């Protein structure tokens, strides 16, 4: 799991709408999952998860459900992970945290990472993932900020 945590927020920020993680990553597997969780971390360290659940994107369906598209092992791919609608105010002194992982079992069925047909797959393999966040592969999070207070 990768965890990205912001510096403390200096003034309240209101976020209302669809939160989206635009992840760029590579895997040595032909199919795999990527998950995202956004949390509000208070000054005491307590984390409050935003949204109704962990968001997930299965690689074979990263471009839609009409056609399965397996990964090319080692090649960068884009994953749009929607965290659905959120209405939340980050208070001054709080931090925004983004957690990226490759599994959310038992909440979601485990991905066997083989690329075989899902319904009949009996093979399992470990997938080695690389999350990219450089100029050529700008992974990001989109937060619909509706209001910020000025200090």
3-state secondary structure of 135: coil
User: Per-residue pLDDT tens for 87-121?
Assistant: 999 999 999 999 999 988 888 888 999 999 988 89
3-state secondary structure of 119: helix
User: Per-residue pLDDT tens for 51-95?
Assistant: 777 899 999 999 999 999 999 999 999 999 999 899 999 999 999
3-state secondary structure of 19: strand
Neighbouring-strand partners of residue 137: 134
Q: Are 29 and 74 in contact (CB under 8 A)?
A: no
pLDDT at 151: 56
Q: How many percent of the chain have pLDDT more than 70?
A: 97
Q: Are 114 and 123 in contact (CB under 8 A)?
A: yes
Whats the size of the chain, residue-wise?
151
pLDDT at 107: 85
Residue among 84, 96, 71 nearest 12 (CA): 96
* Tokens read off for 103: 């599994």
Task: Pick the more confident residue, 126 or 52.
Answer: 126
Mean pLDDT of the chain, nearest integer:
93
pTM for this one?
Answer: 0.89
Question: Which CATH class name applies to 2-104+128-148?
Answer: mainly beta
Residue among 3, 19, 2 nearest 90 (CA): 19
Kindly give the residue spans of alpha helices, DSSP state H, lying in the chain: none
d(CA 28, CA 139) in angstroms, rounded, equals 19
Residue 122 has pLDDT above 80, yes or no: yes
User: Per-residue pLDDT tens for 22-59?
Assistant: 999 999 999 999 999 999 999 999 999 997 778 999 99
């Amino acid at each position: 799991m990768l965890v990205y945590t912001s510096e403390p927020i200096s003034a309240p920020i209101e976020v209302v709408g669809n939160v989206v993680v635009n992840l760029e990553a590579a895997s040595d597997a032909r199919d795999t999952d990527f998950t995202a969780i956004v949390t509000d971390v208070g000054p005491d360290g307590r984390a409050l998860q935003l949204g109704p659940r962990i968001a997930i994107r299965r690689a074979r369906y990263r471009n839609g459900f009409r056609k399965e598209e397996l990964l090319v092992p080692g090649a960068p791919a884009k994953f749009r992970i929607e965290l659905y609608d959120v209405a939340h105010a980050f208070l001054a002194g709080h931090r925004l945290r983004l957690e990226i992982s490759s599994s959310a079992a038992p909440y979601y069925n485990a991905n066997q990472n083989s690329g075989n047909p899902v319904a009949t797959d009996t093979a399992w393999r470990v997938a080695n993932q690389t999350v990219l966040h450089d100029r050529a592969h700008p992974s990001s999070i989109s937060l619909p900020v509706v209001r910020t207070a000025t200090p």
